Chain A
Amino acid sequence: MADNNAITVNNIKRDKAKETIGKGVTIFLFLLPALLLFVGILIAPIIISVYRSMYDWNGFSEGTFIGLNNYKELFTNGSIKFMVSLKNALWIAFFSVFVQLPFSLFLALLLGRKVKGERTFLSIFFMPVLISTVVIGQLWLKIYNPDYGLLNRFLDAVHLGNLKHVWVGEVSTALGSIIVPTVWQYIGYHMLLMYAGVKGVSTDLREAAMLDGATKWQVDRYVVIPIIKPIIRVSVIFAVTGSLKSYDMVRILTEGGPFQTTEVPSTLLENMLFLRNRYGMGSTISVMLIVLCFAFALAITAAFKEKEA
């Protein structure tokens, strides 16, 4: 009897063990496709990038280990233009955070007041987000065209011909010509996120504040904005990291020119591969991009926490 019991217990144990193994295998198989893609295309290449960023490497030979020299060169060698590219990316980030986001917030708050045609306005304002940046860039090239572009012809028509420029070809205006369409295109994106947040704030709460004598703008300022702060934080993070990553608009509008004054880190990275054959330095730039994106995301999160405290 006791023996029998022991056998059944053993059997149950064995069955259980079998079941756990089976379950483990199932979990593994279910995760396998995702893990293969994720590790193969993202995680492993990043590790290789970090490793290769310490090499002088042309991509095909073995390369020589040079420690942190690439990083040092990145910040000190002016002909690499990394500091210029970083400065440009930060300018884009600056205008995104301080022009684009306030404007998006303003639109979101306006639409949140149940204006007539709210949905239609929302859908129209969001439209540029969906269109490829390449298409948007091409359209803006037609606007900026020095001879036939809308902008210069408009300036002629209003007798301000002396303000005409070769917009994407002059050092003084090229970066601005990139910033304007970039900021414009994504206003709708941030507006949509903030609008969703504004709609989520209960009407009762807002009306209670108004009964206490607050004006609508005060309600927005002291009730709505504090509640949607987490969304604003996400928007700030997206705006800054998005600016650091910018590539499409620069490639289409200026190709980094004139005289490499509008390079951004991603276009430099591509140049390292195709123009200079410096794969080690290319890896260094991509590692810097990851570091900067994470550092800014953390710093922004921390800044928002501090404000709340």
Chain B
Amino acid sequence: MGNKNKDRKKASAYECQEIEYNIKQTNPVAKVFIYIFLIIWAVINIFPIYFMFTFSLKANDEIFGENIVGLPKNWLWSNYISAMNTGNMGRYFINSLIVTIAAIAISIMAALMATYALTRIKWRASKLMNSFLMLGLTIPLQASIVPVYVILSKAHWLNKYSTLIIPYSAFTLSMSILICTGFMVDIPYDLDESARIDGCGLWRTFFSIILPLMKPALSTIGIYAYLQCWNEFMFANVFISDSAHRTLPVGIKALSGAYTTDWGPIGAALVIATFPTLIVYIFLSRKIQESFIAGAVKG
């Protein structure tokens, strides 16, 4: 009898999988605590962003006075105007955009081509070459900074867009290849063979068959590379000293040095640097999370 009961229980657990291991069966007091805890942690994670948006719209007397965490009483959009004009944030924003887009484009193209050669053409050392390129996942950025800096400064190549574009595309390359490989091995190999029979060479196969099928991979790689380049600080800080080519992180540091007592424009600058990421995240949160998981779990 007892045995039968157990069997039935097992069967029902099988039928609707959610019946046992979930929060519904937790006792109500513990459940309340769990939710309170999760909500507090959520508030702690949202608060800095809320704080940033509100103080970007306040004057000093509100920030330093009684209204430090509330909504702004006077919405001071002029903070944004001073961040854009005197703080030069518009310029830095465009610089960041140029550097990021160019680096992503180069990295994706190089990664697609390399991945094609590594996964879809059969040759002896392809595995070895792949592990060589994967070294880039563990090598710290700092490893190459001294020689690259010396070479660039001797060649008078500091303070240009390409000073950052080339290293950024190199640093995102290994991850791009890794993600690309994941997508490219899923394309059936029959496609290549039938293309070969129809007289397609390797180049035509790549451009007219593989590339169009890699579209879903592009957004995953693109998002990952975007976050790396948009937020990168060390190289930008070391390689760029003139204000015409500063990217946002370096620009913010310069601005905060200039406006030590006036918080509003700094807040505005922080919002300007952050909102593209937040907008992308609102619409593509799942995709972004997937690209992070793809990067870490396979690597």
A contact residues vs B (CB 8 Å cutoff): 23-24, 26-27, 30-35, 37-38, 40-46, 48-49, 52, 59-60, 107, 110, 113-116, 121-136, 138-142, 147-148, 150, 153, 184, 188-189, 192-193, 196-197, 203-204, 206-207, 210-211, 216, 219, 231, 234, 238, 241, 244-245, 247-248, 251-252, 265-266, 269-270, 273-274, 279, 282-283, 286-287, 289-290, 293-294, 297
Q: Any chain A CB within 8 A of the CB of B73? A: no
Question: Which chain B residue has the least Cβ–Cβ distance from A28?
Answer: B117
Question: Which chain A residue has the least Cβ–Cβ distance from B251?
Answer: A134
Whether A49 contacts B144 in the complex (CB less than 8 A), given A37-B110, A148-B64, A247-B233, comes out as yes
Q: Which of B80-88, B145-153, B213-221 contacts A (4 or more CB under 8 A)?
A: B145-153
B contact residues vs A (CB 8 Å cutoff): 6, 9-10, 13-14, 17-24, 26, 34-35, 37-38, 41-42, 44-46, 48-49, 51-52, 55, 63-64, 68-69, 106-107, 109-111, 113-114, 116-118, 121, 123, 129, 133, 135-136, 138-151, 153-154, 166-167, 169-171, 173-174, 177, 202-203, 206, 227, 230-231, 233-234, 237-238, 248-249, 252-253, 256, 263, 266, 270, 273-274, 277-278, 281, 285, 288-289, 292-293, 296-297, 299
Does the CB pair A107–B20 fall under 8 Å? no
How far is A252 from B266 in the complex, measured between Cα atoms in Å?
14
Closest chain-B Cβ to A201's Cβ sits at a distance in Å of 10
Does the CB pair A216–B233 fall under 8 Å? no
Does the CB pair B138–A294 fall under 8 Å? yes
Residues of B within 8 A of A289 (CB): 140, 142-143
Question: Which chain B residue has the least Cβ–Cβ distance from A20?
Answer: B123
Q: Which of A124, A238, A241 has the most CB of B within 10 A?
A: A124
Residues of B within 8 A of A286 (CB): 142-146
Residues of A within 8 A of B37 (CB): 110
Whether A293 contacts B140 in the complex (CB less than 8 A), given A27-B123, A49-B147, comes out as yes
Does the CB pair A127–B274 fall under 8 Å? no
Whether A23 contacts B123 in the complex (CB less than 8 A), given A31-B117, A52-B147, comes out as yes
Given contacts A32-B113, A34-B110, 9 further A-B contacts (CB under 8 A): A35-B114, A37-B106, A45-B144, A115-B23, A130-B278, A138-B256, A207-B17, A245-B141, A270-B237
How far is A92 from B77 in the complex, measured between Cα atoms in Å?
39
Whether A135 contacts B281 in the complex (CB less than 8 A), given A42-B139, A204-B17, comes out as no
Whether A33 contacts B110 in the complex (CB less than 8 A), given A41-B148, A46-B144, A131-B274, comes out as yes
Whether A31 contacts B293 in the complex (CB less than 8 A), given A37-B166, A134-B231, A286-B143, comes out as no
Question: Which chain A residue has the least Cβ–Cβ distance from B144?
Answer: A45
Does the CB pair B138–A273 fall under 8 Å? no
Closest chain-A Cβ to B187's Cβ sits at a distance in Å of 16
Question: Which chain A residue has the least Cβ–Cβ distance from B282?
Answer: A123
How far is A211 from B14 in the complex, measured between Cα atoms in Å?
11
Residues of A within 8 A of B46 (CB): 124, 127
Residues of A within 8 A of B14 (CB): 204
Does the CB pair B274–A135 fall under 8 Å? yes
Whether A130 contacts B256 in the complex (CB less than 8 A), given A114-B18, A115-B23, A138-B266, comes out as no
Does the CB pair A251–B289 fall under 8 Å? no
Task: For B270, give its contact among A42, A139, A234 (CB under 8 Å).
Answer: A139
Does the CB pair A33–B249 fall under 8 Å? no
Does the CB pair B21–A132 fall under 8 Å? no
Residues of A within 8 A of B21 (CB): 113, 203, 206-207, 210, 216, 219
How far is A245 from B253 in the complex, measured between Cα atoms in Å?
20
Does the CB pair B147–A134 fall under 8 Å? no
Does the CB pair B173–A125 fall under 8 Å? no
Question: Which chain A residue has the least Cβ–Cβ distance from B277?
Answer: A130
How far is A59 from B152 in the complex, measured between Cα atoms in Å?
12
Task: For A45, give its contact among B118, B121, B147 (CB under 8 Å).
Answer: B147
Does the CB pair B233–A231 fall under 8 Å? no
Does the CB pair B233–A248 fall under 8 Å? yes
How far is A192 from B291 in the complex, measured between Cα atoms in Å?
11
**Ranked 10 nearest A-B pairs via Cβ:** A45-B144, A41-B170, A30-B117, A34-B114, A132-B231, A45-B147, A33-B110, A134-B249, A48-B147, A114-B22
Does the CB pair B138–A293 fall under 8 Å? yes
Whether A234 contacts B274 in the complex (CB less than 8 A), given A46-B139, A192-B289, A283-B147, comes out as no
Does the CB pair A141–B69 fall under 8 Å? no
Cβ contacts A to B, 30 pairs, < 8 Å: A30-B113, A30-B121, A37-B170, A38-B174, A45-B145, A49-B144, A49-B146, A49-B147, A107-B41, A110-B38, A115-B34, A121-B38, A123-B281, A123-B285, A124-B42, A127-B45, A130-B227, A138-B270, A140-B48, A148-B64, A193-B297, A203-B17, A203-B18, A211-B13, A219-B21, A234-B299, A248-B233, A289-B143, A293-B139, A297-B138
How far is A26 from B120 in the complex, measured between Cα atoms in Å?
12
Closest chain-A Cβ to B293's Cβ sits at a distance in Å of 5
Does the CB pair B248–A132 fall under 8 Å? yes
Does the CB pair B142–A269 fall under 8 Å? yes
Closest chain-B Cβ to A82's Cβ sits at a distance in Å of 14
Residues of A within 8 A of B149 (CB): 273
How far is A282 from B144 in the complex, measured between Cα atoms in Å?
11
Residues of A within 8 A of B143 (CB): 42, 45-46, 49, 286-287, 289-290
How far is A36 from B84 in the complex, measured between Cα atoms in Å?
38
